[in-house]
Amino acid sequence: MAKTLNLTLKVWRQENREAKGRIETYAAKDIPVDASFLEMLDIVNEGLVKEGKEPIHFDHDCREGICGMCSLTINGIPHGPERQVTTCQLHMRKFKDGDTVWIEPFRAKAFPILRDLMVDRSALDRIIAAGGYIDVRTGSAPNANNIAVEKVKADAAFDAAACIGCGACVASCKNASAMLFTSAKIAHLNLLPQGQPERSKRVLAMMKQMEAEGFGNCTNQYECEAACPKGISVDNIARLNRDFMRANAKEGLCF
């Protein structure tokens, strides 16, 4: 196997959210096969800077598959062709010499483009803020082992908490739905005994905020689960729908 690759990049460029975007073509030469996708973009940007050109703008932070910042759509797939990896953990050995690679931002009404491949995903933060909390008596926190948690529920809550909020589920959905993200954040707390006092309030508040942000309805085709780098299960969506119906019934609301 060759140690380096030469690729043609088709990259979305857009100066700001009001500007008209376009696809521009770049040559990515002598890219090490062991480089990550973001490292490949770093190499291309170094060349652009040397030529006095504007580098390609993209989000990144930990580069360890933890933070979810590296939100790129690669050849039409959020985070690229590998299952359950983030863009920063996608390596160039997954591509072939001479490949043409299309790189675009995550597409969703609720994710306005800031510049090039960077989008504003603060809508997800506002969903969490709407109900992602528990009420506790400050200054009197009990010992962690005082509240028994069933292992099955603890495991399910831990799995839901693995969501890093990258937004790949939204970008993969034809309706740009945030149901997988929202259901994971709700399940994380609603499965635990500490989260029971706000259970109904949390569901209604976060679902209301999700709708207000402009996310679409779930397609029930579960592209979101396939795109999620952490393998968040769509079982959380079914659990959310059940809790939402119960919360509406408890509050005497129509749906």
**C-alpha dist (Å) from residue 218 to 65, 101, 197:** 26, 29, 27
- Amino acid sitting at position 118: M
70 in helix, strand or coil? coil
Which candidate, 200, 192, 162, places its Cα nearest to that of 180? 162
Residue 219 has pLDDT above 80, yes or no: yes
Are residues 80 and 66 in contact, defined by beta-carbon separation less than 8 angstroms?
Answer: no
Please, what are the domains in the chain? 2-112 (3.10.20.30), 120-252 (1.10.1060.10)
What pLDDT digit, counting tens, does each position of 15-48 carry?
999 999 999 999 999 999 999 999 999 999 999 9
Q: Which of 4-8, 87-91, 142-146 has the lowest mean pLDDT?
A: 142-146
Residue 250 has pLDDT above 80, yes or no: no
Please give the share of the chain, as a percent, with pLDDT higher than 90: 87
Distance in angstroms (rounded) separating the CA atoms of residues 77 and 57: 19
Residue 137 has pLDDT above 60, yes or no: yes
190, two tokens: 């609603």
Residue 204 has pLDDT above 60, yes or no: yes
pLDDT for 194: 87
pLDDT for 139: 73
pLDDT for 135: 82
What pLDDT digit, counting tens, does each position of 148-170 carry?
889 999 999 999 999 999 999 99
pTM greater than the 0.85 cutoff: yes
Please give the share of the chain, as a percent, with pLDDT higher than 70: 95
Residue 253 has pLDDT above 60, yes or no: no
What average pLDDT does this structure show over 119-135? 95
What pLDDT digit, counting tens, does each position of 93-109 carry?
999 999 999 999 999 99
Residue 254 has pLDDT above 70, yes or no: no
